[in-house]
Structure 1
Amino acid sequence: MQTLFLEKTGITLRTERACLLIYQQGKHIGSLPLKELERVVASPQVVLAAGVLGVFCEHNIALLVVNHSNPKRTAYLSAPMHSDVHRRMRQYALYQDQTFRTHQARRLVFLKLSRQYRLLAKQQDSRPDLRHVLFKAMETLRHLLEDIKTDGETLTLERLRGVEGAAGGAYFAAYSRLFPPALGFEHRHRRPPTDPVNACLSLSYTLLHHEAADALRAVGLDPALGCYHDLYYQRDSLACDLLEPIRPWIDAWVFGLFHSHRLRPEDFKHENGGCLLQAAGKQRFYETYRRQAPAFRRLLRQYARMAEHTVMNDESQ
């Protein structure tokens, strides 16, 4: 059973006998036996008749319509309960296993800190003026990574969050120094973002959080049930988990936006204590994001498939 991803414009879906037919700009480009499909993940531009939905229902195929430009319009049409319910039942059972949760959370945090370390290390040669600042943060990260390695089996989720918080403080103290003082970026500030860099970080994290939730739905997992992040009202905690090790790569991308002068201070405005992108800057941000998003999306899908494999095989060790 497989998932079919359809994102190109001009795609039309039809069914004939026991096959799903795929057309682009009116030309037939492929077909798949319906019995081999578990779900279809499509962009809002994909065209299909209501009758196709009935055929999907008949063959227990789920449909996820992913709207990247307007995440609130993302829609999930579930097929009648089939294998997904057993998958989620295993996920719910594993959530009750504190050892399993801690083991998975430790992997996420270790990967995140490792990538934070590499991002700072990459800047050492090009920023000799910041060698001491970068080295100090990297040493903190290195010691915390060693703590996770040596104390891993005894680390509770609460202690692990403390380690991740200490790493974040050291990391952002150095990361913020990579940007020109004119941007006013001194530390991570979320609600509301108070400067251009924080505004771009928050927007990027939000966009990719939705991507992570969609990737998890596409493999039949409940995005709300995380390992590292606890249950919280109206929060997709497993999507938050999935995003953690990718955050340093998002940070690197945001750094590139300003380092290349794609975005400048004049592209932002301050309003009601927060910092917002203005129209011209927003257009350039989204143009660049659309080019970068497929790479992040592929990675999140890979992580989602790994999470599904872990759930189904109970790989807690």
Structure 2
Amino acid sequence: MSSLYLDKKGLTLRTQKDTLLIYEADRRVANIPLRLLERLMIIGQIQLTASVLGKLGSLGIGVVVLSGLKHEISLLLPAKADAARRLNQYRHCTQNALPLAQQLLADKFSTQQAHLHHYQTTDHSLWQHWHTQINQAKSLETLLGLEGQAAKYYWRQLASLLPAEWLFQGRKKHPAPDPVNALLSLSYTLLYAESVRLLTAAGLDSSLGFYHQPQANRASLACDVMEPVRADIDRWVWQHLLQGTWQASDFEYQYGACLLHKAQRQAYYPLFEADAAGWRAHLKQEIHTCLNRFNIECANTENDTQWQTWAQICRKTSNN
């Protein structure tokens, strides 16, 4: 199964039998067998018809649309109606929110601690204290406070590893004020989209969570299950920053938001996809754990076929 990233204005998508056809200015530039596609990521102004969407939906291919400077996300997903699973989910999310959130936050702290330990820049006794506080918490508000304390420490330690030119002083968003936050925001958005897609495939309601409470225009359960996986993304971003994959000059500022230059985005997507198998596996594990905690029988949400990438196609269809 694979991902296809399309980030170029003026492309048109069509289907012919079981093949996705990509056109640019009435010239066909790519033919992709639909049986190989699992997700289609559309960034920018791409044209496609309702019949194309219908074909993608009938084959279970999720379509993710990112738009605007904030990478606002829209998801067009094949729905899987599973009333029994959702009833169990609703009951557990409302009746057992605190213990579910305690375990979730403990898992998140463990992955953050492991990330900092990789760089030998963490105080293990401090994390142990926070784990103890999690177990003693009597409300979600208390957990949110602990998460905030840990976040300040976590980002401060990571910031100390970067040269000053990156201007990173902690996690900030909406909009991202610096290159590091721009990379984190874009990567988290892709993680969020995958979380919604997998939850939908598992027959769950991604909008009803237990730690992230219901909120308009937010898939709260998707936010929940991705929390322990965020550190995977952080490690990936820091790895490439410290290796010099990106330079500060690779970014631009528009209306107060920091963004990757268009040319650099074409390199980013294949690079991200090349390392995505690990965090996707972690995300699947978190969803299966969630199903267990909801007392729902676990089954594979999709075939665990080897993840394939379309880096060559992305570059071909995205270059100016």
Q: Is the 8 A contact 1:106 1:160 kept in 2?
A: yes
The offset of 1:7, in angstroms, is 3.7
Partner in structure 1 of residue 233 of structure 2: 250
Partner in structure 2 of residue 240 of structure 1: 223
Partner in structure 2 of residue 75 of structure 1: 77
Q: How far apart in 2 are the matches of 1:123 and 1:182?
A: 20
Q: Which has the higher contact order (CA 8 A, sep 6+)?
A: 2
Deviations 1:100-134 (A, max 9, x none): 1111111111111111111112112xxxxxxxxx3
Q: Map 1:194-205 onto structure 2 (within 5 A).
A: 194-205=177-188
Q: Is the 8 A contact 1:184 1:195 kept in 2?
A: yes
- Secondary structure of the 1:178 match is coil
- Secondary structure of the 1:64 match is coil
Pair 1:271 & 2:240 matched: no
Q: How far apart in 2 are the matches of 1:67 and 1:200?
A: 22
Pair 1:189 & 2:172 matched: yes
The offset of 1:197, in angstroms, is 0.5
1:121 to 117, 122, 137: 117
Partner in structure 1 of residue 10 of structure 2: none
Aligned-partner residue type, residue 61 of structure 2 = V
Q: Is the 8 A contact 1:212 1:300 kept in 2?
A: yes
Q: How far apart in 2 are the matches of 1:11 and 1:303?
A: 36
The offset of 1:271, in angstroms, is 2.4
Q: Is the 8 A contact 1:91 1:221 kept in 2?
A: yes
| Structure 2 gap segments, 5+ residues each | 5-15, 20-31, 42-50, 67-72, 298-320
Deviations 1:85-113 (A, max 9, x none): 1111121122220xx11111111111111
Partner in structure 2 of residue 142 of structure 1: 128
User: In the superposition, relative to structure 1, how do residues 220 and 263 fare at CA in structure 2: closer, same or farther (>3 Å)?
Assistant: same
- In the superposition, the TM-score normalised over structure 2's length comes to 0.71
Partner in structure 2 of residue 96 of structure 1: 94
Partner in structure 1 of residue 9 of structure 2: none
Aligned-partner residue type, residue 230 of structure 2 = R
The offset of 1:282, in angstroms, is 1.3
Q: How far apart in 2 are the matches of 1:265 and 1:294?
A: 27
Q: How far apart in 2 are the matches of 1:170 and 1:88?
A: 37
| Structure 1 gap segments, 5+ residues each | 1-5, 14-23, 30-40, 55-60, 125-133
The offset of 1:276, in angstroms, is 0.8
Aligned-partner residue type, residue 132 of structure 2 = E
Deviations 1:150-174 (A, max 9, x none): x2xx431110111111100111111
Q: Give the greater-gyration-radius structure (CA).
A: 1
Pair 1:169 & 2:152 matched: yes
RMSD over aligned Cα atoms: 3.2
Partner in structure 2 of residue 109 of structure 1: 105
Identity %: 30
User: In the superposition, relative to structure 1, how do residues 44 and 286 fare at CA in structure 2: closer, same or farther (>3 Å)?
Assistant: closer
Deviations 1:16-48 (A, max 9, x none): xxxxxxxx979x99xxxxxxxxxxx94459xxx
